Amino acid sequence: MSFRDYDKKTFIADAARDFAARRISKRDFLKKMGLAGVGFSAFNLGLLGSTRPFRGTGPIGDAAYAQDASMTQWLKDVSGPFKGTKIRYTSEATPPTVVLDKLKGEFTEATGIEVEIEIVPLEQVLAKATQDVQGQLGSYDLYYLDQSWVATFSPDTIDPIAYYNDKPDLAMPGMDWDDFAKPLVDGLALYEGKWAGIPFDIPIFVTMYRKDILEKHKIAPPTTVDEFTAAVKMITEMEKGNGMYGTGLQAKSGHYSLNCDWTQMVWNEGGSIFTKDKKFSGNDEAGIRGLQLYQEWAKNAPPESTNSTWDGQWQMGASGQVALINSWDEFFPGWDGADSKVQGLWEAVRPIRGKPLRAVADAGFGEIPNYGHQGGSILGLSKYSKNIDAAWLFMQWACSKDIMVRCTLGGGFAPMRLSSFADERVKAKQVVGPGTTRHLPIVLETINNDIASEPDMPLWAGFSNNEIPVALGKLLTGQDYGGDAKKCMDDVAAQIDKAVAESGL
Amino acid sequence: MSAAAAARAPWLSRFITSEHPLPWLLPAAALMTVFGIYPLVSAFISTLYRKNAATRKLVFDPDYNWVKVFGDERMWNALMNTLIYTGVALVFQLALGMLIALLLDSDRKGYGFMRALMTLPLVIPPAVTAMMFLMMLNGSFGVIAQGIIWTGLLPDNFSILGNASTALPGVLLAEIWQWTPFMVLIMLAGLRSLPKEPFEAAAIDGATNVQAFFKLTLPMMSKVIAIAVLIRGIDLLRAFDYVKVMTDSGPGTATETLTSYSGRIYFGNADFPYASTIALLTLILVIITSTFFMKAFKVKL
């Protein structure tokens, strides 16, 4: 199958998935299908149902969308030589990207620089970036880099701090690099002392619960793994007859989402993915305990969990199927959406704590064990771009204070900048309703205290998308290992240690 | 060609308008070379390199990927899944296709409309069909899953696609639903082109419908069936869409086919040489299987 063919098929699938998850409207879905060369009969159209809004976006008023006048002036002043340039990058359909895609017209209007954002599934973002850097093609001017790929692509990006200092004529006034939350810079952008890009997106694990259900059963909001497990079991037992489970998981076999769940379980039990001598340690005592506990949670989750990614997990919360979730904070605004049947019923607290954490010094490849798994991303400036300066302008604009606040207001997700958390407009939306920001104080606390980070190593993108979640899928769905967590992890250890040794890391 | 150009190269103008086969073959040969042979050769050359995942350097190591692929348990599992997927889908599509074609092979009023209806599933893109079945097979709210659960065959909320033993049948359901009409159309075309005389003679001799089907219809339809099986078989050996959308090769590797495994290595691990090796292996499988089939059933294309 050609890359183009693969691309088209996954584009169609992704658009369909987005439509099913109500992230895009029927109009957008049909437009995308049209782009992919797909036609619909009247019958098919009937199957698509009615138009629903993007779950994270709420009405925020025109004022919030108005671009800061000084920003517009600066863009006009510096962009002259780049008028007519087109810059491209590819990204997953994360909330900030979706909102930025809507706002980018303002940048084009001020600069004359066109921006094309290809929104594709995560694995395609990785594939496209990989192909680009492998051939040093410069097809993409910016790279959207998931935190698990930063080490892989760090050699292919330009350090934004260095570039900012080297090009004072293109340096955006008031960029204020210290405004980026330090844990985010350390956990996301920094690799071997270099900024591989600018932090752009920070979904992070927090604990979320249905307050009505917990109150009904007189359960206090859980703060520890043990309390969470006990509550999950109790709710499943009491509510299963009503179609409700204690928790829901993003345990789709072979998907990165399962890897995220698993890493958190390992860290919660005091383990790590690698030891300081660069050996896989998911099969040590703490790792096994973590996986066994996850198997326990799976028994108290909707069976569809083993075929669900973060989308499915969000749906479980939205449909009232689960009462507790230890997962991405980004779920929260959607549950408060105007058409949500659980509006105002979910609450967020800092992620549950488990056993004492393994020290960072005892973990390998820059891994940071902690209770709040972060799944953030950065925007990296491609070394191979043919329009570096135009892309640099866009990158600064996209990560500026003004745009970050407006992206947060547009979707309710966590910003990267401390000033965005403190912004009055953001604070004003800390109420129940579409695009709520009422979970953000908890998110900031989690970022400052609990942020965890997966290993920074070039092979991690492959391990976390293939070897680990595939083996976990085999275990959780009964395809292999006979339910034995140790057997599963020993198998993963053998594969990973061999690959690490072969690569010479 | 302009007169000046023709004057500069008179042999070219003569060559193009001559009866020599080359001018006629060259355009097709050029296209074939660019779009067929070059990618194939390029893919083969890439299999001769080993990629270092850390440094991204390609090292010439001609037998590395080929030795690795034959010792790769996942490849054998994917091969087995591919063969099971192809075999089961073919049997169901062929049997159902023939059955429905026999039912629709009539000139009575309304049958033409029903035959036209059979084309509907074929116009839906496979990825969209897969999404529809993904939802219909959802254990919590899917109409098919709920129907099966209601009969008591599966426990409450059972995840068909999230269970290693039921995922492949789940994916096959979408595949069979969408492509059975293709078989129906081919069979119908074959059935409607059969001469009537042998059937009339058989009826006069007292043959039953069943006897007529096995002694006349099937033998006379053998070439049509063989071609239909060949076309679908080649397509099925490259199964990707339904697997990608519905299970992404999971749970574990329960629905992983050769193409989906190759895709995962290519797009997940970015190991282009090894992914090319698996893709070439799939191509070899398709060529061997179809050649064997064409010889065995004396199919001439």
Residue spans in chain A of domains classed CATH 3.40.190.10 = 63-203+375-422, 205-372+452-503
Same domain, B26 and B131: no
Burial (0-12, 13-18, 19+ Cβ within 10 Å), B295: exposed
How far is residue B294's CA from residue A482's CA, in Å, rounded to a whole number?
43
At A173-191, the pLDDT tens digits run: 989 999 998 888 988 899 8
What is the DSSP code string of A325-344? Answer: EEEETTHHHHHTSTT-TTTT
Best residue of B58, B64, B267, B276 to probe chain A, by most A CBs closer than 10 Å: B267
Question: Can you give the length of chain A in residues?
Answer: 505
pLDDT at A26 over 90: no
In B39-141, the DSSP E strands lie at 49-51, 58-60
Which of B127, B240, B267 has the CB atom closest to A16's CB atom?
B127
Q: Which two tokens stand for residue B42?
A: 């390029």
**Which residues of chain B have a CB within 8 Å of the CB of A306?**
159, 162-163, 251
A378: left (phi over 0), alpha (psi -120 to 50) or beta: beta
User: Residue B247: inside a domain, yes or no?
Assistant: yes
Residue A25's pLDDT band, with cuts at 50, 70 and 90, is low
pLDDT at A123 over 80: no
Of residues A456 and A205, more confidently modeled: A205
Pairing of strands A322-328, A205-210: antiparallel
Same domain, B280 and B253: yes
User: Residue B47: inside a domain, yes or no?
Assistant: yes
Report the SS3 class of residue A345: coil
How far is residue B90's CA from residue B229's CA, in Å, rounded to a whole number?
7
Chain A residue with CA closest to B283: the answer is A1
Of residues B107 and A59, more confidently modeled: B107
A82: left (phi over 0), alpha (psi -120 to 50) or beta: alpha
Q: Quick one: how far is CA B96 from the chain centroid?
A: 17
Superfamily the domain A205-372+452-503 falls into: Periplasmic binding protein-like II (3.40.190.10)
Contact at CB, A505 and B163, closer than 8 angstroms: no
In B69-192, the DSSP E strands lie at none
Contact B171, B243 (CB under 8 A): yes
Pairing of strands B49-51, B58-60: antiparallel
At B160-172, the pLDDT tens digits run: 998 999 999 999 9
Same domain, B23 and B124: no
Which of A1, A17, A243 has the CB atom closest to B259's CB atom?
A1
Same domain, B163 and B292: yes
Count: domains in chain B: 2
Same domain, B93 and B32: no
Of B65, B83, B102, the residue that ends a domain is B65
User: Residue B301: inside a domain, yes or no?
Assistant: no
Report the SS3 class of residue A201: strand
Same domain, B59 and B208: no
Q: Which two tokens stand for residue A348?
A: 């967020």
How far is residue A348's CA from residue A267's CA, in Å, rounded to a whole number?
20
| Topology at the third CATH level for domain A63-203+375-422 | D-Maltodextrin-Binding Protein; domain 2 (3.40.190)
How many angstroms away from the CA of A288 is the closest CA of chain B?
A: 19
Q: ∠ CA(A233), CA(A471), CA(B172), 5° rounding?
A: 90
What CATH number is given to the structural domain containing B264? Answer: 1.10.3720.10
Average of per-residue pLDDT across A281-289? 97
Same domain, B40 and B157: no
Which of B124, B253, B269 has the CB atom closest to A44's CB atom?
B124
Chain A residue with CA closest to B241: the answer is A9
Contact A377, A147 (CB under 8 A): yes
Which of B54, B120, B244 has the CB atom closest to A9's CB atom?
B244
Domain assignment of residue B192, given as a range: 73-296
Q: What is the pTM of this model?
A: 0.82
Average of per-residue pLDDT across A130-156? 90
**Which residues of chain B have a CB within 8 Å of the CB of A302?**
139-140, 157, 159
Q: In chain B, what percentage of residues exceed pLDDT 90?
A: 68
How many angstroms away from the CA of A386 is the closest CA of chain B?
A: 22
SS3 content of chain B, % helix, strand, coil (to 5): 70, 0, 25
Same domain, B27 and B156: no
**Which residues of chain B have a CB within 8 Å of the CB of A480?**
252
Same domain, B221 and B160: yes
Of B20, B45, B65, the residue that ends a domain is B65
pLDDT at A28: 64
Same domain, B197 and B57: no
Same domain, B106 and B16: no
At A211-244, the pLDDT tens digits run: 999 999 999 999 999 999 999 999 999 998 898 9
Same domain, B138 and B37: no
Of B19, B36, B65, the residue that ends a domain is B65
Element containing residue B103 per DSSP (H, E): helix B73-104
**Which residues of chain A have a CB within 8 Å of the CB of B116?**
none
User: Residue B285: inside a domain, yes or no?
Assistant: yes
Report the SS3 class of residue A206: strand
